[in-house]
Structure 1
């Protein structure tokens, strides 16, 4: 059995071929689905070797599986990491990544602009484990990150493209802060995907993904990935004894056992014990999705920019939070970190508040009302009444989640058709509110659709 050599290949080629193994005697072109709970041992010695780590191979799918392994190799190759771990969901990836770093009495510094599930995991679940969290208000302000660090801080955590506000992370600056304090930077790269941005190239130490989103791309599976850059010096001091000091039954530390993959080895053990295992069918479907990642994400980003520019010019719209727009406070960071495209998920705030948002969402016909992102289909959601419903009104205001904010995830449909659908939904939004900031004269759906031609969808 041999693994395909990808040295020197460009991204579009890697996304199709990286991680592929050739088996002597049988060579399926697609990665097989090893739909088995466990794997047969040749003899007593092999079984023992699989469990003590002295022999390569798979023993039980909760720990590893050949289909998972192929996906892990491919994602590690695309992100520029030394290795990866595939788990049951994006939330499982985040929890595994952080719990491998912090224990009771420790501290994590995180961005306040996060996916709500991640924020609640940090704020509530980790608190129950005795892990404190400080949230930084401004992603791009390195000084805020530096001031939040304490002697017990074990990780900095943020999203490359925050959901849904698009207030980008200055990865290199925050990575420098982390490394000055000898702390790893963990970046959730879900909304960018490795096609648009590879945080490891800018100093991140660990990258996580919800593979359910852009990596799979079709809204059919759940999965999460932890990618280890393999370059953080875990033995520089005693902050991370789980890697450098604690010894297993074999008398070795994680570093002695796994070298540059000490963190990933520990994370895999942690995941094995907590049990967020994914089905091999899911890893197969994510592999299939990755083969078209660059094609989908480029199209989605291009369309999102066209849609965002059009929306920004509409009288019913108060603001569009998209880093590709010249009006975005993150525009300079987008030029640095996202030159290929700025992603396809962003927030749109309607002038009519909640009434306008309700009418707008109920009126769309092409956009799907759904709690998901990164699908080939365009999606719409109202964060204030769904993902952020657990926050107080004051917390939502502080986070920029206005009652009139709707979140769009742009798919691969024709942008002219998307704009036509949004135009008629804006008519409904305007009819539902008497906001003086919107035009008083009535407008038909046909007239609204004519805006598409005037503005130029592309």
Structure 2
């Protein structure tokens, strides 16, 4: 191949993969094994001491997973990546490297309901404290910074509202505070937005969604941008201080611009254990090969459906950044010029009861708690994904009582509109 840098579609098919050296298999094999044979005692010792790269045990790494990690890192423009069992697992592993008991991180209020619950409740048992900020008010992130702040967490496209976050503006706040910016890029995928290009230091995904794309495999991934200096100020001892379990190695000093990905693997994944199945890695790799084709179809369909809903008499409002009238349209043009994503919400004039009724009347849309499938999906967040919040918190997160969330698939848009028409008419 020439010296030119491969394009996105080429990377989606080829990054990280070579024909299998033993069999010549062109598709990445599923290395369905728990463990790997060492060459000799010295080889084993060097692997366990982080003096050589290689395979030890599938909880820590696996060749199938390694192809997935390299591919997503290439698509996101990062230096390295780590695949784990789910998007939630990715968030736990990331923050374990950054936070000590009593520390804080700032998070945008507009987040997936499961993340709000995880941050608010589950993380309390670790002594990690979340401070909420409004992504529509950048100054609220600045006001939230304290000496205990260790990270800022946002979504590039917020779930469920589909609103676009001003990544560069919040990155400026993170730089000033001397903390890394973590961006959940699940709803955008790197096809639409590459957060590292806009100042993100760490990117996380639920691979379950658009990257896998077929609703058949759970997974999560962490991408290291290689942009943050973990040794500054002693804020991040997991990376800057000698690690007793590895004979005093300082990860930042030893591994440089991919030290964070290494820390997540050898301090997080190794000890917490949320390993990704090699079979799931294989399924997700297969999905990624068609990511550019699927995402463009998702976005084109979503815009058509949003335009239809915006003109329907039963609909009070539509929140889709791809509409010219939407408050986030300028941010969508800046960050996601190829399309504003496939997930958005709309409000019904009939309120809560109308939302619950609508999801039961749709026939082509599947009523379930997922997004990013080839199939079109629907849910009423206030009664499901965000039901643990009070009404005020639901509204702040974009999941008010009258809101319905759609994840638009790759079917014919005319059929999707016809299904909505019959359900709204009923």
TM-score category (smaller protein): over 0.9
Q: Structure 1 CA distance, aligned partners of 2:328 and 2:195?
A: 17
1:401 partnered with 2:399: yes
TM-score (norm 2): 0.97
Find 1:183's aligned residue among 179, 182, 189: 179
Tell me if structure 2 keeps the 8 A contact 1:6–1:14.
no
| 1: CA distance, partners of 2:89 / 2:295 | 24
Alignment of 1:308-347 (within 5 A): 308-347=306-345
What is the alpha-carbon distance in structure 2 between the residues aligned to residue 35 and residue 77 of structure 1?
24
Q: SS of the residue aligned with 2:234?
A: coil
Deviations 1:162-188 (A, max 9, x none): 011122210011011101111100000
Q: Is the 8 A contact 1:6 1:18 kept in 2?
A: no
In the alignment, what sits opposite 2:207? 211
How much has 1:327 moved relative to structure 2? Answer: 2.2
Once residues 222 and 29 of structure 2 are traced to their aligned partners in structure 1, the CA distance between those partners, rounded to angstroms, is: 22
Q: Report the equivalent of 2:412.
A: 414
The residue aligned with 2:233 is: 237
For residues 281-300 of structure 1, the aligned pairs below 5 Å read 281-300=279-298
3-state DSSP of counterpart to 1:226: strand
**Matches of 1:128 and 1:296, distance apart in 2:** 40
Residues 125-140 of structure 1 mapped to structure 2, 5 A cutoff: 125-137=122-134, 139-140=135-136
Match among 152, 157, 162 for residue 161 of structure 1: 157
> Taking structure 1 as reference, are residues 367 and 5 closer, same or farther at Cα in structure 2, changes over 3 Å only?
farther
Shift of 1:22: 4.2
* CA shift for structure 1 position 272: 1.5
Q: How big is the alpha-carbon RMSD for the aligned residues of Structure 1 and Structure 2?
A: 1.4
Partner of 2:222, secondary structure, is strand
Q: Distance in 1 between the 2:190 and 2:392 partners?
A: 35
Question: What residue number does 1:361 align with?
Answer: 359
Other-structure match for 1:42: 39
> Structure 2 residue aligned with 1:90, among 84, 87, 90?
87
Q: 1:200: Cα distance to partner?
A: 0.2
The Cα of 1:23 is off from its aligned counterpart by: 4.6
- Say which structure, 1 or 2, has more relative contact order (CA 8 Å, 6+ apart): 2
8 Å Cα contact 2:68/2:281 also seen in 1: yes
Separation (CA, whole Å) in 2 of partners of 1:172 and 1:363: 41
2:109 to 107, 112, 121: 112
**Alignment check: 8 A CA contact 2:19 2:28 kept:** no
Matched residue, 1:386:
384
Tell me how far apart the structure 2 counterparts of residues 6 and 77 of structure 1 sit (CA, whole Å).
Answer: 16
Query: Is the 1:353–1:402 Cα contact (8 Å) retained in structure 2?
Result: no
1:154 and 1:184 in contact (8 A); partners too: yes
8 Å CA contact retained: 1:187, 1:208: yes
Paired residues, what number? Answer: 424
What are the superposed Cα offsets for residues 120-157 of structure 1, whole Å, 9 maximum, x if unpaired? 111112222112211012x1432111111111100000
Residues in 1 aligned to 2:396 and 2:209: alpha-carbon distance in whole angstroms: 27
Which residue of 2 is the match for residue 75 of structure 1? 72
Is 1:173 matched with 2:169? yes
CA distance in 2, matches of 1:42, 1:302: 52
- Paired with 2:2 and 2:79, the residues of 1 have a C-alpha distance of 15
> How far apart, CA to CA, are the structure 2 residues paired with 1:6 and 1:366?
47
CA shift, 1:417, in A, is 0.6
Alignment partners' CA distance in 2, 1:372 and 1:313: 26
SS at match of 1:237: helix
Pair 1:375-2:361 in alignment: no
Tell me if 1:101 matches 2:102: no
Please, which moves more after superposition, 24-33 or 82-91? 24-33
- For 2:338, what is the secondary structure of its paired residue? coil
Structure with higher Rg: it is: 1
Q: Deviations over 1:306-341 (max 9, x none)?
A: 100110000000011111112211111011001000
Matching residue within 219, 222, 229 for 1:223? 219
Q: Report deviation, 1:5.
A: 9.4
Q: Is 1:31 the equivalent of 2:38?
A: no
1:359 to partner: Cα distance: 2.1
- Structure 2 CA distance for partners of 1:134 and 1:334, relative to 1, 3 Å: same
2:254 to 250, 254, 257: 257
Do the aligned partners of residues 356 and 24 (structure 1) sit closer, same or farther apart at CA in structure 2, a change above 3 Å counting? closer
SS of the counterpart of 1:96? helix
Q: How far 1:7 sits from its partner (Å)? A: 5.7
Q: CA deviation at 1:84?
A: 0.2
Task: Quote how far apart the aligned CAs of 1:245 are.
Answer: 2.2
Q: CA deviation at 1:25?
A: 4.7
Query: Equivalent residue of 1:42, what SS?
Result: coil
Gapped runs of 5+ residues in structure 1?
Answer: 429-458
